[in-house]
């Protein structure tokens, strides 16, 4: 668009711009050589994402480490039940927490377990405890009478353990790091009893 204005007795046409193109390039050229704060600006742009990425790696690694230690301690304790060395719930918790409690705060108070024995799985036999979406076992402290039977008679053992995570990061969905969709670690062992 052009506007006309009078200069003396003549009318002159001039482009209507609020800020001419040459003036815009002059402003850019004025700041182009200024690089003193370029690194700080770049870090401000990507630093937050970088720290969130590092933090998420740390949280995921910690959860996986806790899961590995829980699996190992449950496997060891279930072997003791299988051999008949553990016969009560409190002895089972002590056995699991002696290994897992080193890395897990309040292990004895937070550990949920279901230890069951029977001659078969299913109705009338061993029925697995339900693991809810909130990370709780339907029977949080169950230790049935688990004993070995005579030779030739099969007896099975099912051990389920849940441990709620001691920390929850609100920005991360609760089941991401535990891989089971809940804010709790879960471990299970199923084996045949020794006669």
Q: What is the pLDDT of residues 112-127, one digit of tens each?
A: 998 988 777 776 677 7
pLDDT in tens, 162-179: 998 877 666 566 555 566
CB 137, CB 114: distance < 8 Å: yes
Spatial separation of the C-alpha atoms in residues 122 and 125, rounded to whole Å:
5
CB 183, CB 139: distance < 8 Å: no
Q: How many CB atoms lie within 10 A of CB 14?
A: 10
Q: What is the arithmetic mean of pLDDT over 128-132? A: 81
DSSP 44: H
Has residue 146 got a pLDDT over 60? yes
pLDDT in tens, 3-61: 555 555 555 555 555 556 777 777 667 766 666 777 888 888 899 889 988 988 888 88
CB 89, CB 113: distance < 8 Å: yes
Ordered by start, the domain boundaries in the chain are 66-192
CB 74, CB 113: distance < 8 Å: no
Q: Which of 107, 114, 101 is nearest to 163 (CA)?
A: 107
User: What pTM does this model have?
Assistant: 0.71
């Amino acid at each position: 668009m052009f506007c006309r204005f009078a200069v003396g007795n003549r009318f002159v046409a001039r482009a209507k711009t609020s800020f001419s193109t040459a003036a815009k390039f002059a402003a850019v050229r004025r700041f182009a050589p200024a690089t003193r704060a370029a690194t700080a600006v770049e870090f401000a742009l990507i630093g937050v994402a970088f720290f969130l990425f590092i933090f998420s790696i740390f949280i995921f690694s910690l959860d996986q480490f806790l899961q590995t230690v829980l699996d190992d301690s449950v496997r060891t304790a279930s072997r003791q039940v299988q051999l008949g060395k553990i016969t009560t719930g409190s002895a089972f918790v002590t056995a699991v927490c002696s290994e897992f409690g080193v890395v897990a705060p309040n292990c004895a108070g937070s550990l949920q377990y279901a230890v069951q024995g029977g001659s078969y799985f299913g109705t009338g036999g061993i029925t697995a405890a339900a693991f809810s979406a909130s990370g709780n076992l339907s029977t949080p402290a169950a230790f049935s009478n688990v004993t070995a039977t005579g030779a030739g008679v099969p007896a099975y053992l099912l051990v389920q353990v849940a441990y709620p995570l001691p920390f929850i990061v609100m920005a991360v969905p609760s089941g991401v790091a535990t891989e089971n969709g809940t804010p709790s670690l879960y471990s299970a062992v199923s084996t045949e009893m020794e006669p």
